[in-house]
Amino acid sequence: MSHTPEPDDDYDLDLDAGAPPQPVFHVEQALLGALLLDPRRLGDLTGITADSFSTAAHTAVFAAISTLPPPAPDEHVKNATWLDLVLTTARQQARGLTASDLHALVQVCPWPRHAPAYARMDEAEHARRRLAAAADRLAHTVHDASLPDPVQTVLTEADALATVVDDIAARFPPRAGALPRTPAPPPPAALGYMEAIEEERLLLATATAYPAGIEAVPWLLPGDLVVPLHAGLWQCLTALARRQEPVDPVTVLWEAQQRGLLDDGSDPGEVLQMLAQPAASVEHWAERALQRSLLTTADHTAQRITACAGDLTNTPFQLVVGTRRALADIGAVRTRWQHATTPVPPPRPAPTTRAGPPTTTVAHTARPVRAAR
């Protein structure tokens, strides 16, 4: 095996020369070293591919090992012919790879027979990276202002993330202590916060002016509104409508006082003024609020999954549990969104009454009563 270094050597077995590599880097080295020492061990591995490795160089070496025919065991211990083929093939993807690098992989492998255990560890880390990448795509979609249909695109990414989770769950069965230990990050600020404030004001004012519209939006919850006072006022409106009591700015203000919503120093006059400026329809502003709630929930879900995936103490199944719990929040808002945006089918016409069958027998006539003799 040639030891001549390349003048354009751009390969480094380390991920970052300025920081020590993570444990998975050493696991990958041990796995590749085991396969270089005993290529037959490749047949003992399941669920691992070239994409399972964290560096381009490791990926290239594994791809070469897995595509080249394994050497005869007795020949492999006598010469480095097969290792030369691995080096030549791998350098098509990692041109800076040298013979010394392959020697280093061999030297760091403790036991070649432990290759399946190394592969399982590498697969677990690959699962972590897959989840992190899927969560990053979800977060990117949430913040992409150029999307013509942001909700549908976000839901598609959420479904793709769920597919990744299902695949990981199939590979890693449940274990004890499945709950992730990673603390959840704080909820993010609502998307378009200033715009949300104005739209929520219009929602409350329009619902006050046209309380009949409140019944048409049962899918909107107080938690969908970003301002606590607005959420409380929506509760006042829905309570008054449910009790069939008069609804106007004054009755809503009184209900707000009864619920303690003005205890934070809110100016009653400003509340009255806000409730007196309706526009458009209740359904329009409610749907806008629900859409923002769904996107904000998706953003928080992505952050939670990213935090779990970044916590190296979590096992693959803990990642599955944590991710599914986070996705359940999107699912809850998604159900209400579908209810809000699904057209109501027109009522079915009442069936027409069919005429009875025609009478084919002659009506019987009453027999004459014989006179008594």
Residue ranges of alpha helices (H) inside the chain are 23-37, 56-67, 73-76, 81-90, 99-107, 115-142, 150-171, 193-209, 228-242, 249-258, 268-274, 282-310, 316-341
Structural domains for the chain: 23-110 (1.10.860), 124-341 (1.10.860.10)
The per-residue pLDDT for 188 is 86
What's the burial of 179, exposed, middle or buried (CB within 10 Å: 0-12/13-18/19+)?
A: exposed
Cα distances (angstroms) measured from residue 25 to each of 21, 100, 102, 332: 6, 17, 15, 39
pLDDT recorded at residue 373: 37
pTM check: above 0.85 = no
pLDDT of residue 63: 95
Residues ≥6 apart with Cβ < 8 Å to 249? 208, 271, 272, 275, 276
CA distance 261 to 253: 9
Low-confidence stretches of the chain (pLDDT beneath 70): 1-19, 176-177, 344-347, 349-373
Instruction: Take residue 296 and report the two structure tokens written for it.
Output: 């904000």
pLDDT at site 76: 86
- CA–CA dist 246, 226 (Å, integer): 26
pLDDT of residue 370: 46
DSSP state of 44: G
Q: What is the pLDDT of residue 46?
A: 85
Is the distance from CB of 253 to CB of 263 less than 8 angstroms? no
